[in-house]
Structure 1
């Protein structure tokens, strides 16, 4: 059995397993470490993104709306700080 990615899309996916060693600290500590590691590598975000197929037009609209939301948030923060 090889460690090659299996995917339906044309983009290449790196398969790198996430490993956590359960030592003397216990299982609870290992679970916390695993969650932190998965969050830092963006695994959960990627899973949520790939859960359902999104048409390219919908993806573009979502990307534009997210950019507008970030821009409004940044303008709001700059406005409240006294800067113009």
Structure 2
């Protein structure tokens, strides 16, 4: 469910509906140019608000945001059990 919510935000809000095909969970969002620095800031704000988590500055690194699968795991680890 988390992955689908993240994907939908990227497609609708960051790509403004310009891409119709789904984003694979392991597709590189940074090297493909889908996520740039401004888009990453918008995505972080969305994740914090939507999932009720706080993302610290030191956690903003490529390994946490490279793919939807990595973001899903990161969000799951940040949420209370």
Tell me which interval the TM-score lies in, with the shorter structure as reference length. under 0.3
The TM-score normalised by the length of structure 2 is 0.22
- Larger Cα Rg: Structure 1 or Structure 2? 1
- Highest relative contact order (Cα 8 Å, sep 6+), 1 or 2? 2
